[in-house]
Amino acid sequence: MNDSRRNFLKTAGGIAAAGAVLTTVVSEAKAQNEVAGALTEHTLPELPYAYDALEPYIDAKTMELHHSKHHAAYVSGLNAAEAALAKARAEGNFDLVQLYSKRAAFNGGGHFLHSLFWKVMAPAGKGGGGEPSGVLLDAINRDFGSFDAFKKQFSAAALQVEGSGWGLLLHRPSDGRLVVSQAENQHKLTSWDAFPILGIDVWEHAYYLNYQNRRADYIAAWWNVVNWAQVEANLRHHLV
């Protein structure tokens, strides 16, 4: 193994240095792009509100750490994993394809779900909380019997995620149904045929400062900041 490759592998394990690795690897990959293919440089999206906007339900410090540290780490992890795969293609060396494929799925799931999570929340009383309406409410009533029954199932699914993960509301295009699901970590348990339109992060980093081990209290409070107009827009996007 040559020095640059050894250094790359060493650095790729460290999320903090992933940006620098990406820059190097992308420029190397560009030089050989017939083999390596094109790369997206994923970026951390801005929050659509201030860090303290969801208080008292989600505190400003949790939001700041969650967005600027945790989500940022998934973005750099995804960039590093995809850059490593491009480098593997350029070199024709797929010895570590399993490692980087796993990192791409974990960090890519994290980036996607957090990007969704910020958007499906809004300050309580200013777009957040209340109940869904329109085509979303119609679909919820049709597929769960009532909004109350949906909310109970979704809350229970989120509460019972084993370890770190997500409670999710999915739209399944094959039959047009809404389905409540769980994800472990950022990416496990998916059924592949359905798309998240609403999600709650139940990793401890999402609630521990304020709620400690009381995940149920966090979930109960979280309903006050759900942005139902955005969830309906997510559903309509998939209906097109």
Interface ranges with Mn ion (CB under 5 A): 70, 201, 203
Indicate the residue among 124 and 206 with the shorter CB distance to Mn ion.
206
Sheet holding 165-172, edge to edge: 177-184, 165-172, 195-201
Indicate the residue among 208 and 223 with the shorter CB distance to Mn ion.
208
Q: How far is the CB of 114 from Mn ion (least distance, A)?
A: 6
Indicate the residue among 166 and 228 with the shorter CB distance to Mn ion.
166
Distance CA 165, CA 199 (A): 10
Residue number with the smallest Cβ distance to Mn ion: 201
Q: How far is the CB of 190 from Mn ion (least distance, A)?
A: 17
Start-to-end C-alpha separation, the chain: 50
Phi-psi region of 228 (alpha: psi -120 to 50; beta: other; left: phi over 0): alpha
Q: How far is the CB of 157 from Mn ion (least distance, A)?
A: 17
Indicate the residue among 87 and 103 with the shorter CB distance to Mn ion.
103
Say which amino acid occupies 38: A
Find out whether the peptide bond into 56 is cis, omega within 30 degrees of 0. Answer: yes
Q: How far is the CB of 113 from Mn ion (least distance, A)?
A: 8
Closest CA to 139 of 113, 175, 165, 110: 175
Q: How far is the CB of 82 from Mn ion (least distance, A)?
A: 20
Collapse the DSSP code of 124 into the 3-class scheme (helix H, G, I; strand E, B; otherwise coil) and give the result.
Answer: strand
Indicate the residue among 141 and 164 with the shorter CB distance to Mn ion.
164
Distance CA 68, CA 46 (A): 10
